[in-house]
Amino acid sequence: MNLEQKDVEEIVRRTVEETLTSLGVEHDSPLEMQKDFQHLREWRRSTESVKSKGLLAAFGFLFAGLLGALVIGIKDLLHG
């Protein structure tokens, strides 16, 4: 069986369309698809930012608590 170039292109086109459709992607409107991917990227970046800032805040509270405990311990030790 010898396929011509146009046959191969048609098979590839249909395969890609079916794959995108099965993934829930509207291949007929590429601009909408690009907007959806941009929205997902922005959502990912914002959640990463919240996670890193939350982690930084948690370490800050932990450090402040340890520093406070150290200061209270030193004051207690010096004033007996």
Q: Can you tell me the mean pLDDT for 3-20?
A: 93
Q: Any idea where the domains of the chain sit in the sequence?
A: 5-79
Q: What is the pLDDT of residues 36-66, one digit of tens each?
A: 889 999 999 999 999 999 999 999 999 999 9
DSSP annotation string for 35-69: HHHHHHHHHHHHHHHHHHHHHHHHHHHHHHHHHHH
The yes-or-no verdict on residue 8 having pLDDT over 80 is yes
Residue 16 in contact with residue 27, Cβ under 8 Å?
A: yes
The yes-or-no verdict on residue 24 having pLDDT over 80 is yes
The whole-number pLDDT of residue 54 equals 96
